[in-house]
Amino acid sequence: MAGEMTEILDSTAIQRALTRIAHEILERNKGVDNLVLIGIRTGGDYLAAELQQKIAEIEGVKVPLGTVDITMYRDDLGHRSNLEVGQTDIRFPLNDRCVVLVDDVLFTGRTIRAAMDALVDLGRPRTIQLAVLIDRGHRELPIRPDYVGRNLPTSRSEQIEVQFNAQRGPIGVNLFK
């Protein structure tokens, strides 16, 4: 990744944002009943695990956690060079659950569209809400997040990267010009 790097959030700031999001999720859903967290691979799944941990610290309940891989639902096959397909791992029924979909960076919204298609193929959730660490704008679809760690106006040419350590803990958010 070339160009100038600016740190947007450090690990403490990320933890504060995730703690706030965990509280907001509990407030909005009035507790943990029916609540499940689904992280989008890769990045969102690590953040979803962090949120599960924080919710457990607040409510004392480990809500079900799953991961979704959206490759099979993308709309650009034949136009991209990376063909890697990861595994979707959701070991509980989604019917009538309140799903919080978790991603690291919200950009065009196409990933979220694909993730929602993937989820409805697996069941019929009562609601799907969206939690993201960074919302960088430039939406191409009518999608908006319910929980945002940080709104960050960017230009299209910039890149945002959420860094994780070997234990899958988030350690920083950087912007590359």
d(CA 60, CA 173): 29
What is the signed CA dihedral for 56, 58, 59, 64, rounded to 10 degrees? -30
Q: Are 47 and 170 in contact (CB under 8 A)?
A: yes
Of the candidates 26, 56, 122, 143, which one interacts with another protein according to CB under 8 A? 122
Encoded tokens for 174:
């950087």
Find the binding residues for another protein in span 54-73 (CB under 8 A): 69, 71-73
If binding is defined by CB under 8 A, does position 147 make contact with another protein?
Answer: no
> Residue count at the site for another protein (CB under 8 A)?
31
Q: What is the β-pairing status of strands 65-68 and 5-10?
A: unpaired
Kindly indicate which of the ranges 30-38, 55-63, 85-93, 169-177 contains the residues binding another protein, using the contact rule CB under 8 A: 85-93
Tallying the residues shown for the chain, one arrives at: 177
Report angle CA 17, 2, 76 to the nearest 5 degrees: 75
Q: What is the β-pairing status of strands 159-164 and 170-176?
A: antiparallel
If binding is defined by CB under 8 A, does position 85 make contact with another protein?
Answer: yes
User: Cβ 9 to another protein, closest distance in Å?
Assistant: 17
Nearer to another protein, 28 or 110 (CB): 110
Of the candidates 89, 127, 143, 146, which one interacts with another protein according to CB under 8 A? 89
Catalog residues that contact another protein under the rule CB under 8 A: 69, 71-74, 76-89, 105, 107-108, 110-111, 117-118, 121-122, 156, 159-160
